[in-house]
Amino acid sequence: MGSYEPVVAGQSLESNETMDLLISGANVLLIMVGFSLLIFIHELGHFLAAKWAGIRTHAFAIGFGPPIFSWRNGVGLVWGSSETVIRKRCGRNATQMTDRELAEEGLGETEYSLRWLPLGGFVRMLGQDDLDPSDRAIADRGFSSVSIGKRMVVISAGVMMNVLLAIACFVIAFSVGVPFEAAVIGDVAPNSPASTAIASTGGTHQGLQPGDVVIAIDGQPADTFIDLQVAAGMSLPGVPIQVEVQRPGVADPITFSVEAEESAATGMRGIGVIPAASLHLSDMRDLRPIVNTLVKSAGLDKTGIGPGWSMVSLEGKSVDNYGEFEQVAMLSGGGPIKSVWHGPDSEQSAVLFALPQWETLAYVGATAEMAVGFEAGIGGFVPLIQIERLPAGSSNLDVLQAGDVILAVAGSRGPRMQTVRDAIANAPGSSVSMRIMRDGIEIPVEVQVAGSGVLGSGSKKAGVYLNYAWKSPLMAAPMLAVKTATLQAKTTLAGEVPDGVLANSRWVSIDDEPVVDWRDVWIAFRKASLAGKRELTLVIENPTIGREQRSIIIPLAENAASQIAVLQWQPPLPSLCFESMLINRSSDGNPILAVQMGVQETWKFIVVTYLTIDRLVRGSVGVDQLHGPVGIVHVGTKVADRGFMYLIFFLGIISVNLAVLNFLPLPIVDGGMFLYLVYEKIRGVPPSVGFQNAAMLVGFVLILTAFVVTFFNDIGRLIG
C-alpha cells in the first residue's frame, strides 16, 4: 500500500496573534470554499444527468434563500434573480414559457445562481420538487415523462459525483503524499483496556506498551493510528478487537484481544492509548501557549528554544522519538541531561533535568473511566495548587499572577486540585474567595468565574490555568484514604496518613534529609521504598503562630512501598508538547497505485460511515459525537494547519459522508427519492401523494432535528 517514510518537519510561522487571526480566517474561508465545492459537485451531477435525460431544468443553485446574483443565457449576469429582468421584458416568468417561446426570446431555460445561505444547493427540474410531491408534470421534458431508469440515474448522479470526487481527492493526496500519525503506541492509560489486555497469540504478554507498532487490526493491515481509533470507536460492547503489534526486542508479532470502553471524558469508545510523539515541539495555534508555558518550566525559554524547534540529540546520541527521550530521562537519576535542538535557522544546546513520575492518587470511589477524582502526589501527600498562566483577555489578569500559590479557596485551607475545581464549579457566573501566596506574602483575592463554572480554557474571559505547586515546600490537606494507580501497578489501598499533618504545612526534612521542594520529597520516599524501609520520619512546620515544627513517624506499608519503588524519572517536557510521529502515505509517483489507494480509501470511509450510523442506532456511538456544518468548518480549520494535502484528504472524507447520507432511504434526500422509483418500478405506479407528503414531513423533521442537534454539539465544543 505505497511507501511510509518519516515526515521532516518544516519551518514554523512566527508566533503572534495577528498572524494567528489571519491564518484562522484564511482557513475558515478555505474550508467554506471546499465545502461549497462538494455541494456544487453534487448538484452538478444531478444537473448533468437531467440534461442527459432530456429533462428541462429551471434552476441550478448553490445555497438557499434569495439569490445574491444569477446568470442566464440571453440575460447575462445580474444581481438577484434573472426572473425579474424576464418579467419586465416578457411579462411572465421563464418557468411559465415553453421551450419554443424561450428560443424565440433568445433565453436559456436554466438560471444559475449563488444564494445567501451557503449550506446546500439544488437543481429545480420540471415536474420534480422535493418539497411538493404533487408537482408531477407529465409534459414533454418533465421529470415524470422520462423512463424510470433515467430518473434513477438523475437521482443517484449527485451521490456518484461525490464518490468520484472523493476518489479524486484521495488520488491527488496520495500522489503528493499525506502526513498521518504513525501506527505506533505512545502512552497507555493506567487501568485502561489496553493496559490490562492479555495476549491471545505470540506469548504470555500483558498489556500494550509504548513503542508497540500496530501492524493489523482484526486481521486487516493498519496503515495509521487513525485505523486503531476508528476500530475502537466502531466496536460493539462485549466484542473485543484483535490488535496485532510488533514489539521492539520481540521477534514474533503479538496479538492482543482488547475490548474498548466508553470514555467519560470524550464520550467515545477507546482502549486508552495515544499516538507516539516525535521530538518536534508543536507549533499549532491551540497548543502553542501550553508549549510555551511548559518550555519555560523546563528552563528552555532563555535559550530561545520554543514551538517549531526539534530535539536532535541527547547526551551526544541522535534521537528522533519521544520514547528515546523517556529512556534517557529514566536513566538520568535526576541529573543533568545534555540536549541539542534545531530551530528554523539555528542550532542550540541546552541542559535538561528529569522530573519525578508522581503517583496517581485516586479518591475512594473514583474509577479509571472518570475524568476527575484523581490527584498527583506520593503516599497520600499532595502539593498545593498554583496559577500556571493567564491567557490574554482573562478577567482575572489584575487579580492573579502566574506563580501564585492557592492557600485557601471558599474557606477550605490547603485545597487540593479537586477542592479548587469543586469551588469553581459551585460559583458559575460569580466569584470565589481565595487566599494566595505571592512572594512570601498572603493576599486575599476575589476571582471571577465564567458562567459555565470554569476558570480554564473553556472561557477566555475568566481564563486561569492551574497546576501543582511542585517547587513550593507547602502541602495541601493530605488524602487520608487513597487508592494509587501507576503504569506499573494495579489499583490497591495505600494506607492512611496519620492525623496531625495540617493543611499548608511546610516540609522541613524526611529521614534527616532536608526538603526544599517536592522533588526532594519524591527522592526521599522512593529511596526509602527501594531500601525496604517500613517507616519514615517526617519533620514538618505547621502553619500556626510560632511556626511549630513537629517530628512524625509514618508507616510505609509494603504495598504502598512497592508502588512507590517502581516510579521513575521522566522527561521535563510531556509528550503533548511534541507533534505526533508522522508517516507519509504516498503512491511514490505511481498513478495506478494512487488510483488503487484512492478507491480503497473511499470504500473504507463508506463502510465507516455506514458503521457509524449502525452504532448510533445501537447506542455505542453517542449523538453528541456528531458534527454539523459549524463543526466541520471548525475541525477543518485545524486540519488545514496540517497542510494542503491533508485538507484535500479531509474534503475527500466529507465527500464520502455526503454521498452516504444523501443515499440513505429517508424521505427528502436522494435515497428516499430512489426508493420511490424502485416502488414505482415494481408496482407500476408511484407512491400516493398523501404518503409522499407525510413521508416528506417526517423526513423534514428528521433533517431539522439532526441539524439542531449537530448545531448545538458544534457550539458546545466551541465554547466548552
Number of domains the chain is built from: 5
Residue ending a domain, among 354, 388, 410, is 354
The answer to whether residue 325 is domain-embedded is: yes
Q: What are the backbone angles phi and psi of residue 679, rounded to the nearest 5°?
A: -60, -45
The answer to whether residue 582 is domain-embedded is: no
Least reliable range by pLDDT among 112-116, 492-496, 712-716:
492-496
Would you state the cell numbers that stand for residue 708, as one nine-digit string? Answer: 439542531
The answer to whether residue 619 is domain-embedded is: yes
Residues 615 and 652 in one domain: yes
Identity at 298, one-letter amino acid code: A
Distance separating alpha carbons of residues 365 and 512, to the nearest angstrom: 36
The answer to whether residue 488 is domain-embedded is: yes
For 117-127, write each residue's pLDDT tens digit: 776 678 888 87
pLDDT of the residue at 293:
84
For 380-397, write each residue's pLDDT tens digit: 899 999 998 887 777 888
Distance separating alpha carbons of residues 668 and 130, to the nearest angstrom: 6
Distance separating alpha carbons of residues 122 and 487, to the nearest angstrom: 55
**Closest by alpha carbon to 326, among 566, 571, 567, 568?**
571
CB atoms within 10 A of CB 305: 23
pLDDT of the residue at 499:
57
Distance separating alpha carbons of residues 625 and 30, to the nearest angstrom: 24
**Closest by alpha carbon to 225, among 185, 268, 270?**
185
Please name the residues in contact with 595: beta carbons below 8 A apart, sequence gap of 6 or more.
167, 171
Positive or negative torsion for Cα 14, 15, 16, 20: positive
For 46-94, write each residue's pLDDT tens digit: 999 999 999 999 999 988 889 999 999 999 999 999 999 999 988 888 8
**Closest by alpha carbon to 588, among 30, 59, 160, 175?**
175
Distance separating alpha carbons of residues 480 and 388, to the nearest angstrom: 27
Identity at 275, one-letter amino acid code: P
Residues 146 and 35 in one domain: yes
What integer best gives the mean pLDDT of the chain?
A: 80
Residues 195 and 238 in one domain: yes
| pTM of the full structure | 0.66
Only one residue has cell 511542585, namely: 470
Residues 638 and 701 in one domain: yes
pLDDT of the residue at 27:
60
Residues 441 and 534 in one domain: yes
Residues 421 and 554 in one domain: yes
CATH at residue 337: 2.30.42.10
pLDDT at 350 over 90: yes
pLDDT at 1 over 60: no
Residues 650 and 713 in one domain: yes
Q: What are the backbone angles phi and psi of residue 120, rounded to the nearest 5°?
A: 170, -150
Residues 408 and 295 in one domain: no
For 493-542, write each residue's pLDDT tens digit: 334 445 567 888 999 999 999 999 999 999 999 999 999 998 889 998 88
Question: What are the E-state strand segments in 632-714?
Answer: none
- The average pLDDT across 540-548 equals 74
pLDDT of the residue at 65:
87
pLDDT at 205 over 90: no
The answer to whether residue 636 is domain-embedded is: yes
Residues 144 and 198 in one domain: no
Residue ending a domain, among 354, 378, 393, is 354
Residues 64 and 48 in one domain: no
pLDDT at 423 over 60: yes
The answer to whether residue 47 is domain-embedded is: yes
Residue ending a domain, among 570, 599, 634, is 570
Distance separating alpha carbons of residues 689 and 711, to the nearest angstrom: 32
Give the chain's largest Cα–Cα span: 106
Identify whether the C-beta of residue 178 lies closer than 8 Å to the C-beta of residue 586: yes
Would you state the cell numbers that stand for residue 471, as one nine-digit string? Answer: 517547587
Judge residue 663's burial from the number of C-beta atoms within 10 Å of its C-beta, 0-12 exposed, 13-18 middle, 19 or more buried: buried
pLDDT of the residue at 621:
53
Distance separating alpha carbons of residues 345 and 297, to the nearest angstrom: 24
Residues 163 and 250 in one domain: no
Distance separating alpha carbons of residues 48 and 438, to the nearest angstrom: 71
The answer to whether residue 210 is domain-embedded is: yes
Report percent pLDDT > 90 for the chain: 27
Confidence of residue 25 (pLDDT cuts 50, 70, 90): low
Task: Let me know the angle formed at the C-alpha of 188 by 183 and 193, rounded to the nearest 5 degrees.
Answer: 100
The answer to whether residue 507 is domain-embedded is: yes
- The average pLDDT across 547-569 equals 85
Judge residue 40's burial from the number of C-beta atoms within 10 Å of its C-beta, 0-12 exposed, 13-18 middle, 19 or more buried: middle
Domain range for 641: 1-56+126-176+588-720
Residues 632 and 698 in one domain: yes
